[in-house]
Amino acid sequence: MKKSVKKLAALGLTTVSVVNLVACGSSDSNGSKSGSGEVTKPEKFSVMVNSTVVTETNGAKAFYDYLKELTGLDIEWKRPDHSGYYDAVANAFNSTETMPDVVLLSSDYYALYANNGFLWNMTDAYNNSDLKKSGRLVSTANDVVNACYVLGEDGKKALYGFPTQQGGGSVTYVKSSWLKQAGINPSDLEGKTLDWNTYYGYLKKMADAKQHYVISSPGFVSPNAPYTNYLPEFYQNAQFSFYQTADGKYVDGFTEQYMKDALARIRKGVEDGVLDKESVNNSTANCRDKWFSVSPDSESGVFTYWAGDWTYTMKSTLEKRNLDTDVIMLNPIKELGAYLNTLPTTWSITTACKNPEGVFKYFIETMLDGGDIQEAWTYGAKGTHWDTKAETVTLQDSDTSTTYKEGEFHHLPSPEKPYQLQMKNHIDPLLALAKYQNTSTTPNGDDPGSNVIPEVSKTAEQFFLEHSKMDVALPVNADLSENITDINQARTYVVSQVALGYMTVDEGMDYYRNTVGSKVDIVVRSLNK
């Protein structure tokens, strides 16, 4: 062990402090040993996962057994409590004796562990893999994988974790009923690329018509990358954190004119009654409640939130509450250009693993095999989470039953919540990096569950992918890690104070420089070495 995880914790590893640390990069291999010679199938190995893999209370054992049946792999599963997952990861990494062979990591933690020498370089393994040669990877797969190249302990970019899907992201939804009440024709927005002035003019008209806020946001800035995700039209090209310019230099985006202009727009939005003042303390749950509110005093009319499955949930909930389900997905405004496709979670192999080449080939690579194993990672265990046998399925407390023919793919009631169907396991079928191939379960090369996915979810996810770009992040280093907590706290404070009118933009920037300016300088110098 080259560095203790206690040292990593001292570097400020928190959800808030170490976001946006993954580097977009090249395909330099930097010395991975895989890709040549015979690769042996691994014997028993350990895998640590969070609740993005079907949980113990929701049929995890059935999934484990089914996966073993399909792969023949003997896996020791480690399942920490979800809320304390990364504390458990840190504790496990304190010793090679407790370190798992494979670990599922979000982009922020992934970069830090790679940079500190805890993860195996899988660049060659992937470049020489059957998966990469298969032709089944989706058109955006290269962009997603390249976004996962991070700086290793040697200071070179390499692939230390593999994503099975895109990260996904959010789009801006606008209620047609709100537009109509403000005298705006929804066709003036739908499918149109508006400029900021036009868009804000519509927001102001809706605020005047409703006599209260239009947008309620989970914070005026997100605590996690991408920080500007929930108010993209207001931030536009502003960079909340450090970023690399076209000439290759790293700068602090927070001090640039783009951010000053963004803060001025947010302040005006609050002053004009367009933005909810309570956004400063809002959670995503608060904002969902306001979006679904049946009270005119608390309902919101514009909401930037996830595309895909949530779009179906949104429309279903609006319908249940007798609210108008006619909702427009807004094209990114001209000044924004594109929504951000977030950095995905990755499957990483640790330096404690005795056969990393074998684990990559027979475990990680098979997650996207285009057949039964990919189906299991996407939908769970056959007979527990889904099935193809002839049967009638009835949800708990429901009077409606659905009868399926032999060979017809269908979801089953969730073991944990039998009043609803179990729709997926780990891989989001709308975001998977590889397509299916002709197998017994997918005779036409189609996703076996494709016919069950609501069309509105498919349409929304496709809309997002067509109007998004991969998020760009930073390499992690010790100087950034040591200082980012204090820097981000100061940034968030300035945003809230300016938004609520307690500081002017210039006063906010003065506060920022006086509070953490020296730390910012240290980080910028370090990044530009």
- Going residue by residue through the chain, which has 529 residues, state the pLDDT in tens, using 9 for 90 and above: 455 454 444 344 443 333 333 333 333 333 444 444 689 999 999 999 999 999 999 999 999 999 999 999 999 999 998 889 999 999 999 988 999 999 999 987 898 899 889 999 999 999 999 999 999 999 999 999 999 998 888 888 899 999 999 999 999 999 999 999 999 999 999 999 999 999 999 999 999 999 999 999 999 999 888 899 999 999 999 999 999 899 989 999 999 999 999 999 999 999 999 999 999 999 999 999 999 999 999 999 999 999 999 999 999 999 999 999 999 999 999 999 999 999 999 999 999 999 999 999 999 999 999 999 999 999 999 999 999 999 999 999 998 899 999 999 999 999 999 999 999 999 999 999 999 986 666 667 789 998 889 999 999 999 999 999 999 877 788 888 899 999 999 999 999 999 999 999 999 999 999 999 999 999 999 999 8
- 324 & 179 share domain: yes
User: 401-404 and 391-394: which strand pairing?
Assistant: antiparallel
Query: 195: exposed, middle or buried (C-beta count within 10 Å: 0-12, 13-18, 19+)?
Result: exposed
Residues 204 and 118 in one domain: no
Closest by CA to 345, choosing from 155, 102, 56, is: 102
**Predicted pLDDT at 478:** 82
Asked if the structure places residue 251 within a domain, the reply is yes
462, part of any domain: no
**Of 395, 421, 441, which residue sits at a domain end?**
441
Whether 154 and 181 map to the same domain: the answer is: no
Q: Are residues 93 and 105 in the same domain?
A: yes
Asked if residue 216 is part of any domain, the answer here is yes
Does some domain include residue 458?
A: no
DSSP, res 420: S
Are both 52 and 76 inside the same structural domain?
Answer: yes
Residue 420 lies in a domain: yes
Same domain, 298 and 364: no
The domain boundary residue, chosen from 420, 441, 462: 441
Domain C-terminal end among 441, 459, 490? 441
Query: Residue 272 is part of which domain span?
Result: 170-341+477-527
* pTM attached to this predicted model: 0.88
23 & 155 share domain: yes
Q: Let me know if residue 12 belongs to a domain.
A: no
**pLDDT value at position 132?**
97
Token readout for 191 is: 């499918």
HSE on the CB side for 405, CA within 13 Å? 1
Number of domains composing the chain = 2
Query: What is the predicted pLDDT for the residue at 30?
Result: 39
CATH assignment at residue 295 = 3.40.190.10
